[in-house]
Structure formats: C-alpha cells, structure tokens
C-alpha cells in the first residue's frame, strides 16, 4: 500500500487507511467517505471499501498515504482558539500551532476554554480514545462568579439534569480549590457540560481550564505552547485503549 511501512499486509478498510494517513480520526474519515471526498483508483470510495497494495487513494484529488512516524503532542490551548482544522476558521488550532506535519485533535475543548488538548497523526489511537470516551478521566480547574458552597459541591458531584440536552450528568468527583474555584473529574463528555452544570445551579463560569486528559497531565507547559509527548507518556496513553 502506498507510503506504508507494512506493504505486504492484507488490504485494510478505507477509513482505517485514511486515519493512518494522519488526516483525521476513523470516525471523521467515515464522514469524508460519505461526502464523496475520497477516491480509490479514481472511483468514489464507499464505506466498507478496502485498500490494497498499489491502490491510489486521493482526498479531493490529492494523493494520501499512511504515515511512517506517529506523532503525539500536547498543547496548552489559549481561550479563543477553535479545535478545528478548517482553514475557513481564522482561529483554527492547526494554523495557530503551525506544526510542520499534518495533525488533528483528539476530541475537543470549547473555544471559551483553555488548557490541555492532544493532537496526533495516529488515527487508530485517536479513534480508540474517542470510542472509549467515558472510560477515562478528564480533569478541569474551574473559576466561577461567586463562592463555592458545600451545597454546590454536593449537587455538582451527585449529578445534575441538563434540560437543554435532556440528560442527567453521571456522578463525579468535585473538590473546592479556592473561595470561587473548584476541581472536577469527568468521565462524561457532554457539550459544554461543566458550564451547563454550573448554570443550572445559578453560577457562571469565569475561567475553565483542562489540566489532564486520561494519563497525560498539562504540568507547567506555558499557555499557547506545545511539546511532543515523551515515549513514556505516549505509551501510557496508548495503554489506556490497548
């Protein structure tokens, strides 16, 4: 298969091949296929197609091939940066970082939030992490507009019904950090979950920062900077879904 370090292997599904190219996760690859953006040997690909050695796979007319080096980086995202690769968004994370190789984010962090976001060209690992969302912890430090009370902590940790989503959050660990701040560990990943939970209790989020994703902690990485994960960090992250 073109560009692969495993050319003698059996044919692989088209979505896995695309994910191995570093363009996107396997889930996002399915959307590209459904949109008719992928061709195999000049024919529009369909879900379930496979790629064999010698096949030419193209994305919107541009050849793609699997990557030889898997990259995992951590980025301390500033507020105002969007977790998208779309060049139509002037605040997209890919242009902001300016990494020399093609990467995509593992999950998202909303535009108004800051902190740890992981990026990779390893579609298989990204896909597994996204599929197992709800089984690994994400840790946040949150500042709100008024004092954090014991009643607030109890209700946040016990689960809150979110009418806009028609869902109740699952119990989680919430601890006070300061007079108007708290630390929360989530395994759930609902849209703007922490902000919605606080709003239901009459609080507004002033600052929201993710400090850990699964086994990877933000540490002292400066805001707006990134670094590659160490071999040990990458191995621990992949072990979460191995």
Q: Cα separations (Å) of 137 from 24, 40, 185?
A: 23, 39, 6
- CA 142, 145, 150, 151 dihedral sign is negative
First to last CA, the chain: 25
Rounded CA gap, 197 and 205, in Å? Answer: 10
Which residues are part of the catalytic machinery? 110
Please give the Cα distance from 203 to 206 (Å, whole number): 9
Structure-block tokens of residue 67: 């990557």
Task: Report how far residue 193's alpha carbon sits from residue 110's, in angstroms, rounded to the nearest whole number.
Answer: 10
With the C-alpha atoms ordered 221, 224, 227, 233, is the resulting torsion angle positive or negative? positive
**CA-to-CA distance for 119 and 72, rounded, in angstroms?**
6
Helix axes 123-131, 26-34, angle to 10 degrees: 100
Largest CA distance in the chain: 63
Q: State whether residue 196 is helix, strand or coil.
A: helix
Q: In whole angstroms, what is the distance from residue 213 CA to residue 240 CA?
A: 11
């Amino acid at each position: 298969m073109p560009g692969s370090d495993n050319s003698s292997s059996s044919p692989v599904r088209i979505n896995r091949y695309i994910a191995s190219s570093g363009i996107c996760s396997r889930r996002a690859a399915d959307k590209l296929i459904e949109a008719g953006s992928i061709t195999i040997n000049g024919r529009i690909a369909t879900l379930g197609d496979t790629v064999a050695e010698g096949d030419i796979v193209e994305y919107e007319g541009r050849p793609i091939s699997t990557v030889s080096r898997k990259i995992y980086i951590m980025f301390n995202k500033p507020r105002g940066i969007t977790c998208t690769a779309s060049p139509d968004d002037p605040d997209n994370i890919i242009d902001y970082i300016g990494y020399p190789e093609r990467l995509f984010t593992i999950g998202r962090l909303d535009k108004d939030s800051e902190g740890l976001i992981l990026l990779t060209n390893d579609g298989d690992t990204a896909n597994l992490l996204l599929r197992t969302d709800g089984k690994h912890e994400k840790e946040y430090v949150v500042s709100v507009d008024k004092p954090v009370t014991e009643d607030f902590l109890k209700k946040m940790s016990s689960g809150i019904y979110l009418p806009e989503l028609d869902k109740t959050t699952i119990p989680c660990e919430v601890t006070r950090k300061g007079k108007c701040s708290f630390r929360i560990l989530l395994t759930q990943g609902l849209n703007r979950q922490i902000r919605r939970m606080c709003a239901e209790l009459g609080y507004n989020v002033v600052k929201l920062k993710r400090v850990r994703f699964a086994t990877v902690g933000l540490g002292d990485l400066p805001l707006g900077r990134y670094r590659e994960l160490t071999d040990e960090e990458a191995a621990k992250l992949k072990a979460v879904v191995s």
